[in-house]
Structure 1
């Protein structure tokens, strides 16, 4: 790699890291390319020589957030009780804890909307969908008779229920729930859901 390409790649990494810090501190609405350019020491217009547009920059930050979430969920899987029910509960609680500890970056994953007429690129969709394996695998062990499509729908439904509780529980308004209580409620929700699904196949 030439020196010029090395400098460009370093500046690109610096830009993504600066954007990550800015979103973590200010939220997605506080992301300003002019401030980013000043922080990494380049002209405002030069930002668009490093990424195609703000959408790509936000997706690159999101990619880093998803990678860290993946690590957190993987760590939650690797605990003593390997039963599918216990694993799914740990994963749900780990998701809650990650969201609470990375609130603005986590929110940005769901608040970001692509510019009108543009679609989310395949690489970003693939990264998002890859995380569903954490839910899919224990569900497949719990319900071996279900088809791939059925398991996929159940995985998405379970995620939606947990995500909804986390999103509302962490709202910094009257509906906010203290994190210890939220963790207990999420555990109870996942346990009750799985008990009901198991009972339904008996």
Structure 2
């Protein structure tokens, strides 16, 4: 790699890191390329020599967030050998805790919208879909008779239920729920859903 390419890659990494810090501090709406350029010491227009556009920059930050979320979910089930049911409970609680501890970056994952005619790049879709293995694998152990398609739908439904509780529970409004209570309610929800699915299968 030439010196020029090395400098460009370092500046690009600095840009993504600065964007991550800015979103964490200000939220997605507070992300300003002019401020980023000043932060990393380049001209405002030079930002677009490092990333295609703001969408790519937000998605690159999102990939870093998803990687850390992946690590948090993996760590949640690494201690001991929880049953598939309890693994799903641990994963759900870990998801809640990660959202609470990384609120603005977590929100940015869902607040960011691409233009209707602009598809997500394959690398970003892959980053997102990789996380579903944490839900899919315990479900496959619990329901071996289900097809991959059925398991995929169940995994998404379970995620949607937990995500909805986390989203509303962490809102800084009247619906906000204290974190210990939210964690407890999420655990109750996941156990109830799994027990209901087991009963239905029987």
Common fold: TM-score over 0.5: yes
Return the offset for 1:80: 1.7
Q: 2: distance between equivalents of 1:169 and 1:30?
A: 23
| Structure 2 counterpart of 1:108 | 108
* Structure 1 moving runs of 4+ over 3 Å: none
CA contact (8 A) 1:55 1:115 kept: no
1:87-146 per-position Cα deviation (integer Å, ceiling 9, x unaligned): 000000000000000000000000000134211101100110010000000000000010
| Structure 1 counterpart of 2:39 | 39
Q: CA RMSD in A?
A: 0.6
Q: Does 1:131 align with 2:131?
A: yes
| Structure 1 counterpart of 2:16 | 16
Return the offset for 1:197: 0.4
| Structure 1 counterpart of 2:74 | 74
Q: 1: distance between equivalents of 2:116 and 2:138?
A: 37
What residue ranges of structure 1 are gaps of 5+ in the alignment? none
Secondary structure in structure 1 of the residue aligned to 2:87: helix
Q: Does 1:6 align with 2:6?
A: yes
State the TM-score, normalized to the length of structure 1.
Answer: 0.99
What residue ranges of structure 2 are gaps of 5+ in the alignment? none
Number of matched pairs: 202
| Structure 2 counterpart of 1:188 | 188
| Structure 2 counterpart of 1:155 | 155
